[in-house]
Amino acid sequence: MKRRVLFVCTANSARSLMAEALLRYMAGDRFEVASAGTEPSRPHPLAIQVLQEAGIPTDGLYSKPLAEVQGQYWDYVITLCEKAARECTLVASGAQQIAWDFPDPAETNRHATFALTLKELKERIGLFTLVHEKETGLKQASYNPVTIFKAMGDELRLAALMLIKDQEKLCVCELTEAFEVSQPKVSRHLASLRDAGLVETERRGQWVYYYLNPGLPEWVARILDETARNNVELIEQPLARLQTMADRPVVHCP
């Protein structure tokens, strides 16, 4: 399952765009990545040039405001300057915030400076992916029973899992309404379920939907089926609140 990473700097014209392209190129099989700016402008020509010279695809790169990504689920929000670190704290309250501080190469407007920034970003991102691989590389495939039962051992997590199973797909705002708890709390519990390999995510427009991992081992799927069948009271009240939710998002099939 891919982790979602958002890079943020001021203009979203150089550092964060280069970081987005680098992570997608280096580990796009493990990460879903985007970037945004607190005061977005447009991609700097030298940023695009040094990426292309390094053989890194630049298709689809564009500068965007934080508002375009706010409200989406992110596992990591990585800021690349102090200004962005101060201004993006509310972008994704459930995400792990990481602050990197790279000088803005646009201030010199020199090819050599952009090339150096790209090199330093590549080294930092390489370390980031290595640490992530060590922390989570085997967790999803192993389905250790202790990990599974620990994930389901919290009442809210178990009820959320049962509600997702019942409704097939739910977004954070729906679960927040159903359980009458804060968005950060829901996001933290969903992250635990995702870390255990019980749920996966799918983005549709501005919404990120959670659904049961279709690759669950038979023994895990059987436990979920039995739990749902014999404990309907777990989701009675949340389901009632969900069914009366105003302006509920609608999942549109592709």
Residues annotated as catalytic (active site), given as ranges:
9, 81
CA distances for 167 relative to 84, 155, 235, 240, angstroms = 38, 18, 11, 12
DSSP 208-225: EEEEE-TT--HHHHHHHH
DSSP 73: -
Among candidates 79, 77, 48, which has minimal Cα distance to 61? Answer: 48
88 in Cβ contact with 38 (< 8 Å): yes
CA terminus-to-terminus distance, the chain = 21
State the Cα angle at 109 between 105 and 111, rounded to 5°.
85
Instruction: Kindly report the length of the chain.
Output: 254
Tell me the pairing of strands 96-99 and 76-79.
Answer: parallel
Angle between helices 45-53 and 111-136 (to 10 degrees): 60
